[in-house]
Structure formats: C-alpha cells, structure tokens
Amino acid sequence: MRSIAAASAIALAITALAASPATATTATEEDASGTREYVVLFAEGASADETRAAVEAAGGTIVSENSEVGVATVVTTEAGFADAAAAQAVIEGTAQNRVIADVPDAARTGNGEARKTDAVEQETRQSAGAPAATQRGQGHGNGNGNGNGHGRGNLTAEPLADLQWDMQQIGATVDGSYKWEQGSKKVRVGILDTGVDGTHPDIAPNFDAELSRNFTVDIPYDANGEPVDGACEEDPDGSCEDPADVDENGHGTHVASTIGSPINGIGIAGVAPNVDLVNLRAGQDSGYFFLQPSVDALTYAGKNGIDVVNMSYYVDPWLFNCTSHPADSPADQQEQQTIIQAMQRALDYARNRGVTLVAAAGNEASDYTKVLTDGGSPDFADVPGEVAYTRDLLDPESCVSMPSEAEGVVSVSSTGISERKAYYSNYGNGYIDVAAPGGDVYDTADDTRDVTKGILAAYPAALAEAEGAIDENGEVVVDWAVKSCDESGETCAYYQYLQGTSMASPHAAGVAALIVSKYGLPDLLRGGKYLPAQVVEAKLAHSAVDTACPVPAEFTYTRHLPNGTTATATHVCEGGATDNGFYGEGIISATRAIGR
C-alpha cells in the first residue's frame, strides 16, 4: 500500500525481482510485544489435528493454514520456537516470516520510501531526453474478437504498435499471430506480482475482477519508523489491505499488459490480447515478496483453473537459498531449506493441476550453473543495523533461486532488439529454457543508451502522476513514458519503458496462453480450458526459434554510460545451436507456437 500520493517525483524504477512479509502489524509493534511470525512446513499427509498439536507443543499459534501444500503462518512469543518445532515429528521446517527491521539506504527512493529496486530497470529512467508525443488511436477493425482465434481479417495495428519491437520479434502482430489466434477468454493467466491496475484502459477489458485476489497485507514502517509500504491511512482506501485491482508499484501492471493488453484502439496489444487476466498479488508495494503469499497464490491458481502463471521475482530475503552454506547460521540454513521445500510443493501442486509455470531468469548477469558469490542476501535486516553479508563459492547444486530454478518452472532469459542476449540477463546451459524480448537499452549501434530499446507496456495513471512522469494537465514530461488516447481523445492511458528478465518472462507466458487457447480442451471441473503443463512446456520449447551462441562464444558487452564512463563485461555461451546457455531452446515465437 505504498502511498502513491506521497511518492517522489524522482522515484526509482520498478523492481524486477523482489519480496516482502504479509503481516498487518508493524515491525515496531511486533518487537515491542515480543511476537514473532513463522512459516511452518509440515510433513506431507499430516492431519490438521496433528499440525495444530505440534505447533501448540512448540509454543506457537496457527493464524492461517494452507492445508493443500502443508504450510501455516504461526505466531509465537517463544524465542526458542524454531528449536522446539524441530523436535516435533510432523514439522519439517520453519522459516521466520522476517519482520523488516531495517531497509538498506540503497533500497530507498528520494523521499525515503523502501523500494526493492533493480539497477537494470533504473536504466530506463536515467535519461533527460524530450518526452514522447501523445499518440491517438487509429481504429481497430474487428480485432477485439470473440476468442475463437480464426477469421481475424481487417485487423488494424494499435496506435503504439510501431514502438513494440518486442512483439515484432516474436511475431505477435496483426500480420502474425493476431491474425490467427489472439487467445481465448476461457484461458486464465495469473500474474503473481505487485498487483494489477484493473482500471487501466488497456487492461480493463480483459481483467478478471471476480477471480483476482490479494494475498498480501501492507507493511507501513520498519522498526526504525521509516516507510516500507507507507502509511495505511494515506492509501486510497485508507487500509493496509488493498483491493485486488490495485498496483501501487507498477511492475505487475507492466507484466499483465505485455501478456494480454487487448486490441481496442488505444496504446498497445499484448502477446495474447484476448485472454483472461487474473491478479494473484503476492508482492508488496515496496517490491518485496515473501514465502506465504507466494505459496498461497500458487495454491489458489491450482484450485481455480488458472492455466498459466507469470513469476517475475525471487522469494526474499535470499537471492539464493542454500541448504548448507557454511557462512549461514543454522537458523538461516533452516529458513532457506524451508523456502525451497515449501515453494517446490506449491509449484508442484499448481503444475499437477494444469498450471504452466513461467519465471524470469534474473538480472545479475551471471551464469547460474557456475560457482557464484552472493553479496546481497538477506536483502533487508530483521534486526536494526544488520546488513547483508557476502557468501562466496555458492555451489549451484545446493544453492537455488526460487522460483526460477525450481523443478517444473520455465526459466526465461532476455533478448534485446538485435536478438542478442541482454547484457544484464542471467544465463547458463541447463538453466535457461527459452529466451524472449526483455529489452536492452544498450543494444544500439554505438553502445549508448536508448530507452526505446526497452519494453513498452501499461503504466498506472495514479503512479505516473505520483512519480512525476506527467504534469498537472496529464501530459508526459519524461522520455521513458508515453501517452495514448482513443480516436475521440476522451480516453487516454499511459505506458512506460522497462527492461529486465521481468519483461521477458511475460512474453513467454503470453505464448503459453496462446498454446492453451489453440490446443486446450474444455475444463469440465473448473471451467475454461485445460492443457497439461507438460504439453504446454513442450510446445513452447519446440516452437522456439533455434538461436546459436555468438561467435566467438565469449561475448563482450560494451556500454557507454550516461555519466561518461564505459562498462564492459564478457559472458560465455555454452551449448549447441539448438540448446545453449544464452537462449535455451531458442527465442519464443507466437506464430510458430500456434502452427503458423
């Protein structure tokens, strides 16, 4: 519930991969009362009576329970709860639902609000170029079809289509996949993110308000009294429990727009412009994502006929969850083991019920199949004054990032306009499944920065105003945002450029939705359509365009930064022409995925 009215005009860019705890109390209140909150993982098959008895015996009280996956949120005043829980036969692990006691200065915006900021996405907001002109609608023929995917003649491109190089790269255009398959309203795509602005003119026609849910509660302040998500009373609804059609961060709205903005004569069109968009909010306004909301959102997806979910984040506070790294305390090791197990259970639950799982590969510019160093975890402190510590020699066999490295998840790397792997995108032969356009503002002829080489998608108007992207007359005043109006000029909407694997992943999720739309069968149990996740994954991979490693395989990126300095980095691509560490099984293709 970050107060958009109080947001700084120079707020930093929206985070790509992040996390935060779902608790209605402030860190200060919890510290003062001595109450701690844990996520507890139970042995599979344990009964409700057994789990409650075990938690009570350890000195805790269950406040919410996810029986399908076998996890619960527990509160306790017992300092030794975790050790006592470990002695209970039906409890397999505990993870402290970390109170945000202290947010690093680097993760705060100009007005002091917490913001789990990704430096890669900040690149889209560091220019002082001239603002883009307002774009008017040009009509849309019969493009806003009925979802049968056939006979789409007379389509007219959306007003901002010429700025969507990403859709051109994968064939999601009026002359490409839109002509044959725009997606079905019977196909539901879940966005596990910071929320979705369901009122945005380029999202509202496809937004499913009935199925959308918010699994988080805002955290107003940290233990020092500094803002995290912001004061609840300053929120539009005056509450810490935001409605399920709100996004006060912007990240989730951008993702949802890329997947399914409709063809309606305004702005852009998404990969699958006629699918059903479901907000499964698991992230805080500040950009943090915690374990329990992620587990609950995935479980909900499995129970409610969601066909595809997009996860452009990692579960905080650990970028890598290690089972036995010597730099971690026993309690931290236990926490990371629990995160791995609980997330895998939730992902398995959803996938076994037909949910195709798509995740961003991450923006650390690292080969995830090699030994790494993590200097940023935990990414906030649960005790004031504590900071992240460096963990060297992380073994890829025992340290995993969740959910992108989980079993059954499609991990997506990012490409730029030239189809090169983006400079920031993680990679690794055996880690990357497919590649998709995510933007690279330095993928230019002279290696200088150009924001239009990012990805353009929907931007909540209230956030645009709060962040100073538009003036009092509603006109855009920055070069990383664009305004588009319909033919009458009465309905206008805003769009922003972002880059990151967060932007690549929803392109793949959109193509997965097209596959379900094209080949799915009626779901007699939950309504809509159904296609086993394994089938969707196979079609997504097999229809991707084989893209070989660069020659030489040691590719050097050169970036001439706005501050006058030059940065270089060399990434090594391993693998063959049909499956390698940069592109996996290739760059996704909307047209090939539907057999065109």
Where a domain ends, among 470, 486, 519? 519
User: Residue range 547-563: average pLDDT?
Assistant: 97
pLDDT digits (tens, 9 = 90+) for 118-164: 678 778 887 656 676 667 665 443 333 333 343 445 689 999 999 99
* Burial degree of 58 (CB within 10 A; 0-12, 13-18, 19+): buried
pLDDT at position 236: 64
Decide if 554 is inside a domain.
Answer: no
154 and 45 both lie in a single domain:
no
Instruction: Indicate the number of domains in the chain.
Output: 2
89 and 146 both lie in a single domain:
no
Closest CA to 41 of 64, 21, 69: 69
Which residue is catalytic, options 102, 166, 193, 367?
Answer: 193
Using CA atoms, how far apart are residues 324 and 245, in angstroms rounded to an integer?
40
Half-sphere exposure of 347 (CA within 13 A, CB side): 23
> What are phi and psi for residue 507, nearest 5 degrees?
-65, -45
245 and 362 both lie in a single domain:
yes
Decide if 588 is inside a domain.
Answer: no
User: Residue range 431-442: average pLDDT?
Assistant: 98
pLDDT at position 128: 54
Q: How far apart are the first and last CA of the chain?
A: 44
Decide if 540 is inside a domain.
Answer: no
56 and 109 both lie in a single domain:
no
The CATH number for 70's domain is 3.30.70.80
Decide if 527 is inside a domain.
Answer: no
pLDDT at position 323: 94
Beta bridge partners of 276: 188
200: Cβ–Cβ under 8 A, 6 or more apart, which residues? 253, 257, 458, 460, 461, 493
265 and 382 both lie in a single domain:
yes
* pLDDT of 1 over the 80 cut: no
* pLDDT of 503 over the 70 cut: yes
The length of the chain is: 596
70 and 181 both lie in a single domain:
no
The answer to whether residue 502 is catalytic is yes
373 and 449 both lie in a single domain:
yes
* pLDDT of 483 over the 90 cut: yes
User: Residue range 487-510: average pLDDT?
Assistant: 97
What average pLDDT is seen over the chain? 89
- CB of 508 closer than 8 Å to CB of 447: no
Decide if 562 is inside a domain.
Answer: no
- The token duo for 503 is 């932007």
Closest CA to 360 of 18, 14, 594, 590: 18
In a 3-state reduction of DSSP, which class is residue 309? strand
Which residue is catalytic, options 20, 212, 261, 502?
Answer: 502
31 and 130 both lie in a single domain:
no
497 and 469 both lie in a single domain:
yes
The answer to whether residue 507 is catalytic is no
* pLDDT of 442 over the 90 cut: yes
The CATH number for 309's domain is 3.40.50.200
* Domain region containing 35: 27-96
Q: Hey, how many other C-beta atoms are within 10 angstroms of the C-beta on 83?
A: 14
Residue recorded with tokens 């409650």: 52
83 and 46 both lie in a single domain:
yes
pLDDT at position 32: 46
User: Residue range 40-51: average pLDDT?
Assistant: 96
Decide if 479 is inside a domain.
Answer: yes
This prediction has a pTM of: 0.92
Where a domain ends, among 519, 542, 568? 519
pLDDT digits (tens, 9 = 90+) for 169-205: 999 999 999 999 999 999 999 999 999 999 999 999 9
Query: Using 50, 70 and 90 to split pLDDT, how confident is the model at 84?
Result: very high
pLDDT at position 133: 63
User: Residue range 288-313: average pLDDT?
Assistant: 97
Looking only at the bridges linking them, the beta strands covering 481-485 and 455-459 are unpaired
358 and 482 both lie in a single domain:
yes
Beta bridge partners of 374: 391
Decide if 494 is inside a domain.
Answer: yes
Which residue is catalytic, options 200, 251, 507, 571?
Answer: 251
Decide if 417 is inside a domain.
Answer: no
